[in-house]
Amino acid sequence: MTGALTWALVISALGVVVVRRRSLALALVALQSLLLGVHAISGASGQSTALLVAGAVLLAKAVLLPAGLALVVLRTREARWIASERHPLARLTLALAVALPIAALVPRFGLLHPGTERAAVGLVALGITTAVVRRGTIFQALGFLIAENGLYLAALSAPGGLPAFIELGLVFDLVVIVSVAGVFSAKIHEQLGTGDTSLLGGLRD
Amino acid sequence: MSAAAAVAGVVQLVGGVAVAPLIPGTVQNLKARLQGRPGPSPLQPYRELRRLWRKSGVAPSPRTIVYELAPATVAGSLLIALVLLPIGGRSPGWPVGNDALVLVGLLALGRFAITLAAWDTAGGFGLMGASRELTFAIAVEAVLLLVLVLVALPGGSTDLLALSAQATRPAVWGEPAHWAAALAFGLVVLAETGRQPVDNPDTHLELTMVHEGPLLEYAGRELAYLQWAAAARHWIVLVLATDLFIPHPGPFVAQVAVLAGSLPVWCALLALCETTQAKMRILRVPLFLGAGGAVCILGLASWFAGGGS
Amino acid sequence: MSGAGIVCAAGVAVLAFGALLVLVARSARVWRLALAAQAVGMSAVGAAGAAVLFGAPIAGAPFRSGFAPAFGVDRLSGFFLGVLALIAVPAAMYARDALRDVRHACAVVGLSGVFCLALVGLVVARDVTTFLAFWELMTLLPASVILVVRQDEQARRDVFAYLAITHLGGIGVWASMLVLSAHGALGGVPLHSGGLRALVAVAAIIGFGTKAGAMPLHSWLPRAHPLAPANVSALMSGVMIKLALYGLIRVLFTWAAPVPLWVGLTLLALGALSAVGGVLYALFQHELKRLLAFHSIENVGIIVLGLGASLVFASLGRWQWSAIAFAAALLHTLNHAVFKALLFLGAGSFSGAVGALELDRLGGLLRRMPWTGGAFAIGAMAIAGLPPLNGFASEWMTLQSLLHVAVYGPFGVSLAGAIATAALAATAALAVFCFVKVIGLVLLGAPRRREAASARETPVGMRGPLVFLAGLCVLLGVVPGLLVPTLARLGPGTVALSRGASVSLPGTGGLPALGLALALVLVVGGLWRAARSRRAAPSPAWACGQLVEPALAWTSAGFTKPLRLFLEAVLRPSRELTVRVEHGVLQEVAYDAEVPHLFDTLIYEPVTHAALHGAAVVRRLQSGSLRTYLLYLLGLLALLLVLVRLGVLS
């Protein structure tokens, strides 16, 4: 795991905290997942196929999830900037104030390089901080994805690799999606009396 | 079973059943003499019992089996309590044992039965007497148990045979704890026999009755049982007083003689107490009895202050 | 696994089947079948427990200190399983007919089954996780049953009081169990420092004492017990509070042993306070079930007196009397379970026949419901401690133990023992007072209400368990000596007691129970026949020539008035007299009197207000915003990392 990669991941996470445009933040997160996926596949060549599969999963995640979120962003154009957002510098300071102590205090938990450990924990902290300091709803999801990437980083750097971890993470994502979809279906059913989505066309006025 | 134990058994039964009514009769006679009247003969209770035995009873209309069973239960429990008391330090081995706390339990059974009968006929005076009797019983039982603690201290046993035997040693009379127990037991005697200042046995005003209240609804043989039961209570507490607190050294015959001699002395003391004291207000009686409890606690402290053995 | 273990496991399986059967269907046949299955399962469990108690080899695992779940039955657990079965089986059979008129009967049946499972689980738990898990379950299930059956405001407030008080006290349970487990004491390693032992003892007394209902932590008991349906009340009063004492016995006698002398003296003080206070407040209640709940407090006090005496004897080195006092406490546990269950089931029958159980508005039920009334009367005589029933046997043994504490101890201990003896004697007299009043008002006299006059006897299915329990009261009173030597072996010390019908203890005159019972029956029967041979003349009640009018019937408050007046300073009764006069003519007089529960006004209510106020302050932390919660999460993470760095957590 090269230092450059870890730094790229960390800086892209910081970027998500700072940037204004949602599409830009989305692109940064997609970049993170892409970097992780490419690294997994390149590290796995010649080793177990599980790692290969994990890499493929990461790449898919780098493409599919941001694509879906991008669609959402396109559909929900905001007329103005969200007024309640803090100044970007304030956001950056807050994020650094939270993530740096946590990353510094964490004891060694068994990864190959101490720098990687700190980066992974820092990514998780930055992800949660993103969800805290940014007001837009998309950023809550992006923060969650960044934290997940941090965990994947730790999994990939564990001695021997932990490919199963990545697949479990995907399963968890799917569970979240399915449950949210379930809640929506229930709400729609409650509202309309049926789940027939063809009737949803009538919502448009 | 030795001859002495057999004689003791006979005295327990005959004395309790036949001689017991003589005690309240004697007390009435002595009281009258102290008041300057000739008074009824000491044998008057026997005449009462005979008269009642020949009369028919009464069946009040709202009643259940409790009304019929209560006098038999009172008399039965006291009859069994009679054979718990050793006479002259001996007792034939009746199957009911010789424990002091069993005696207390049997007295409680009798009290329960008669107060329950007051509820059965639901007459107001009976219930009033029942509630007062039960209120006094709280203090009486507490003080009686404290007295038993004090008398059990030297020997460590509540067996009445052992307690009676330890009173044969005059050494026990050097202990202030023993005197304290005797004083408190005197208060218990007054309460159990229903004598003044706790209760007035001669009263004809139903509002002032305590023991006699529930008896108002009975007639005939059942009333005879209840009157005999009152006499038996006298016998039991006075024989217990002799067993525990009168020094009676010597062989069995001497001890029986001491018992026979002490009973008239107790009767005289009771008569004196009744004549010199007025009836106390009902709400002060538990305090009066509680003073006996405090005396017992002082006796306990003095037992330990004196070294205790 | 030994035979007893297999039978016990099979019983638990059948019990679980009975509890879960109600999920299948909701018809009456299904839940009646479920109750029968629960009864069968509990019988098997009780039989296994009794077998282990009387000498079968110990089943399952011994206690262990780790966090691995384990189950086992040893002799003490076997005794408590037997007690549980003796109560649960009649309660289940009673409920088969009693729950017909209750809404949500199948929910009640299912929850009672799970409650029985939790009780069994607590007794057979062998490590701290299972113990605490079943402890919490045991607390929550009666609350759920009550809330299923009653949804009014009063019930919700009382259930809140129950849960709040038992959980606050339950901190003591958690603290003592976790400390014991952390130091390995559960596995048999004795605690090394006296301070730790004192801490564990105090925490255990507070925690288990609250659940057992010892004063002054008892406020929840008279609120919660009357609300549940009769079979669950019987289980709660008969068994649940005893299992709290089971936990106390385990902590003080096995795991934290030997405890210092002051622990035994504290138990004596608590026991005396609970006994006298419980029965005193019971005397002034107007409602039958609340009165019975206060009597449970009294009897828990008597059991705690026995346990305290046992600990005091153990500290003094008198092992023989320590075992005897322990046996007295266990015998009273069994006896109280039996007659309290009998009384609660009887009260349930009365309530089903008559409606509300106001004591002043019943009457005459012995004629109209002879079986139920007779069994109830026997239960009342037993709880009043009258010979020859079982209450007298265990109270006699406890009195003897306390008296011998006074005889054998040094001055301070002797004084405590003497006061405790006097307190127990006063309690016994107060209990007689109370139950004369109860039997008189409920069973005797004329009916004071239309429903009481038209009450009908309950069906056989409800009478049978009551008669069984009454017979058990008589049996345990007549042959207590068969059980006492076995019970004496469960405690500290050893004593060689002969096994016979009578209890013969050293230093006493013995309790020849069988001889006493036979003598009483024969003599009383003979005297009764002799009196009846003269025919009695039927007549109205004499009452000194007055008419016996229903309006002049005595009430519960009137009967207890002398005591209330004597203890006015302690009880602070309140009364309100309203007289309405119009145009010079008296129209109406209203009289309202009450003996307030001082513990409620002085202790419980201020503490509740403070707790609710504190909760309102803390509620401001709940903002509902996702970001605030994430901030809490980050803060906690940082704090944990700092603690790790400082070396506090490793």
In angstroms, the CA C298 to CA C279 distance is: 6
- Chain C residue with CA closest to A124: the answer is C634
- pLDDT of B51: 95
- Residue B84's contacts (CB-CB under 8 Å, 6 or more residues apart) are B94, B96, B97, B98, B99, B102, B103, B106, B160
> What's the one-letter identity of residue B127?
L
Tell which residue, C464, C472, C449, C399, has the closest CA to residue C429.
C399
Percent of chain B at pLDDT exceeding 70: 99
Q: Which segment, A171-185, C252-266, C611-625, is predicted with the most confidence on average?
A: C252-266
Residue A26 near residue A69, CB atoms below 8 Å: yes
Residue B262 near residue B108, CB atoms below 8 Å: no
How many CB atoms lie under 10 A from the CB of residue A97? Answer: 10
Q: Å from B287 to nearest chain C CA?
A: 9
Residue identified by tokens 């007055």 is C546
| pLDDT tens, residue by residue, C235-254 | 988 899 999 999 999 999 98
B149–C544 C-beta distance less than 8 A: no
- Chain B residue with CA closest to C517: the answer is B96
Measure CA of the first residue to CA of the last residue in chain C; give whole Å: 39
In angstroms, the CA C458 to CA C370 distance is: 10
Residue identified by tokens 């007046």 is C565
Both tokens of residue C520? 């009483």
A140–C637 C-beta distance less than 8 A: no
User: What burial class does residue A84 get, using C-beta atoms within 10 Å of its C-beta: 0-12 exposed, 13-18 middle, 19+ buried?
Assistant: exposed
Residue C293 near residue C607, CB atoms below 8 Å: no
- pLDDT of A46: 60
In angstroms, the CA C481 to CA C517 distance is: 13
Q: Å from A12 to nearest chain C CA?
A: 21
C410 near B CB under 8 A: yes
pLDDT at C442 over 70: yes
Distance from chain centroid for Cα C493: 27
- pLDDT of A48: 65
- Chain A residue with CA closest to C633: the answer is A128
In angstroms, the CA B183 to CA B170 distance is: 18
CB–CB contacts below 8 A, A to C? 32
In angstroms, the CA C270 to CA C96 distance is: 39
In angstroms, the CA C147 to CA C159 distance is: 8
Residue C249 near residue C307, CB atoms below 8 Å: yes
Q: Give partners of C (≥3 CB pairs < 8 A).
A: A, B
Q: Å from C175 to nearest chain B CA?
A: 39
> What pTM, to 2 d.p., does this model score?
0.83
CA quadruple A74, A76, A77, A81: dihedral sign: negative
- Chain C residue with CA closest to B142: the answer is C422
User: Can you list the alpha helix ranges (DSSP code H) found in chain A?
Assistant: 3-18, 22-44, 49-75, 88-105, 114-133, 137-157, 163-192
Measure CA of the first residue to CA of the last residue in chain A; give whole Å: 53
Both tokens of residue C85? 């079965």
Interface predicted TM-score of the whole assembly (ipTM), two decimals: 0.94
The torsion angles phi and psi of B159, rounded to 5 degrees, stand at -70, 125
Number of helices (H), then strands (E), in chain C? 27, 5
Both tokens of residue B48? 């009462």
Q: Which residues 286-345 of C have a C-beta within 8 angstroms of B?
A: none
Q: Å from C619 to nearest chain A CA?
A: 21
* Average pLDDT value over all residues in chain B: 89
Helices B220-245 + B65-82 axis angle, to 10:
30
Reported as type and span, the H/E element at residue A202 is: none
How many CB atoms lie under 10 A from the CB of residue C152? Answer: 8
Pairing outcome for strands C72-73 and C59-60? antiparallel
- Chain C residue with CA closest to B140: the answer is C426
What distances in angstroms separate CA B305 from CA B292, B299, B302, C58, one per listed residue?
A: 20, 10, 5, 50
Q: Of B75, B80, B122, which is closest to C554 when you measure between CB atoms?
A: B122
Q: Of A98, A107, A129, which is closest to C644 when you measure between CB atoms?
A: A107
Q: Å from C87 to nearest chain B CA?
A: 27
Q: Which residues of C touch B206 (CB under 8 A)?
A: 544
Tell which residue, B164, B32, B156, B46, has the closest CA to residue B98.
B164
Q: Which one of A86, A105, A124 would you mutate to disrupt binding with C, by most C Cβ within 10 Å of its Cβ? A: A105
Q: Which residues 5-44 of B have a C-beta within 8 angstroms of C?
A: none
| pLDDT tens, residue by residue, B103-150 | 999 999 999 999 999 998 888 888 999 999 999 999 999 999 999 999
Strand partners, C581: C586
- Chain C residue with CA closest to B119: the answer is C440
Measure CA of the first residue to CA of the last residue in chain B; give whole Å: 33
- Residue C545's contacts (CB-CB under 8 Å, 6 or more residues apart) are none
Residue C86 near residue C339, CB atoms below 8 Å: no
- pLDDT of B47: 95
Tell which residue, C566, C83, C643, C118, has the closest CA to residue C334.
C83
pLDDT at B162 over 90: no
pLDDT grade for C22, boundaries at 50, 70 and 90: confident
Q: Of A98, A105, A125, which is closest to C642 when you measure between CB atoms?
A: A105
DSSP calls for B201-243: TT---GGG-SSSGGGGG--HHHHHHHHHHHHHHHHHHHHHHHH
C633–A128 C-beta distance less than 8 A: yes
Q: Give A117's DSSP letter.
A: H
Strand partners, C287: C358
CB–CB contacts below 8 A, B to C? 270
pLDDT, greater one: B7 or C495? B7
In angstroms, the CA C601 to CA C219 distance is: 10
| pLDDT tens, residue by residue, B14-40 | 888 999 999 999 999 999 999 999 989
Q: Which segment, B268-282, C423-437, C511-525, is predicted with the most confidence on average?
A: C423-437
Tell which residue, C250, C42, C6, C224, has the closest CA to residue C128.
C250
C637–A102 C-beta distance less than 8 A: yes
The residues of A whose Cβ lies within 8 A of any Cβ of C are 98, 101-102, 105-107, 125, 128-129, 131-133, 140
Q: Which residues 237-266 of B have a C-beta within 8 angstroms of C?
A: none
| pLDDT tens, residue by residue, C543-580 | 777 777 777 788 898 899 999 988 888 888 888 888 99
A125–C634 C-beta distance less than 8 A: yes
Both tokens of residue C366? 């012995």
Tell which residue, C243, C279, C282, C324, has the closest CA to residue C492.
C324
Q: Which residues of A touch C642 (CB under 8 A)?
A: 105
10-residue stretch averages of pLDDT, chain A, 205 residues long: 81 87 86 84 68 74 78 72 73 87 80 82 89 80 86 78 71 79 76 65 58
Reported as type and span, the H/E element at residue C41 is: helix C28-53
The torsion angles phi and psi of C539, rounded to 5 degrees, stand at -160, 165
Q: Collapse the DSSP code of C66 into the 3-class scheme (helix H, G, I; strand E, B; otherwise coil) and give the result.
A: coil
What distances in angstroms separate CA A101 from CA A107, A148, C112, C615, one per listed residue?
A: 12, 20, 53, 33
Q: Give C582's DSSP letter.
A: E
In angstroms, the CA C47 to CA B34 distance is: 70
Q: Of A101, A106, A128, which is closest to C630 when you measure between CB atoms?
A: A128
C643 near A CB under 8 A: no
In angstroms, the CA A8 to CA C231 distance is: 69
Percent of chain C at pLDDT exceeding 90: 47
In angstroms, the CA A126 to CA A147 distance is: 7
Q: Which residues of C touch A107 (CB under 8 A)?
A: 641, 644-645
Q: Å from C369 to nearest chain B CA?
A: 12
In angstroms, the CA C608 to CA C602 distance is: 11
pLDDT at C650 over 60: no
Q: Where are the beta strands (DSSP E) in C7-57?
A: none
- Residue A171's contacts (CB-CB under 8 Å, 6 or more residues apart) are none
How many CB atoms lie under 10 A from the CB of residue B116? Answer: 27
CA quadruple C397, C398, C403, C406: dihedral sign: positive
Q: Within 13 Å and on the Cβ side, how many CA atoms surround B60?
A: 27
- Chain A residue with CA closest to C628: the answer is A132
Residue B296 near residue B152, CB atoms below 8 Å: no
How many CB atoms lie under 10 A from the CB of residue A47? Answer: 12
Instruction: Say if A and B touch: at least 3 Cβ pairs within 8 Å.
Output: no
How many CB atoms lie under 10 A from the CB of residue B13? Answer: 13
What distances in angstroms separate CA C410 from CA A29, C298, C378, one per listed residue?
A: 81, 28, 40
Residue identified by tokens 């304030």 is A90
Pairing outcome for strands B58-60 and C537-539? parallel
Q: Å from C434 to nearest chain B CA?
A: 9
In angstroms, the CA A203 to CA A197 distance is: 11
A105–C634 C-beta distance less than 8 A: no
C436–B149 C-beta distance less than 8 A: no
Residues in chain C: 650
* Average pLDDT value over all residues in chain C: 89
B56–C429 C-beta distance less than 8 A: no
B222 near C CB under 8 A: yes
Q: Which residues of C touch A132 (CB under 8 A)?
A: 627, 630-631, 634
B80–C519 C-beta distance less than 8 A: yes
Q: Where are the beta strands (DSSP E) in C422-544?
A: 537-539
Q: What is the largest CA-CA distance in chain A?
A: 58
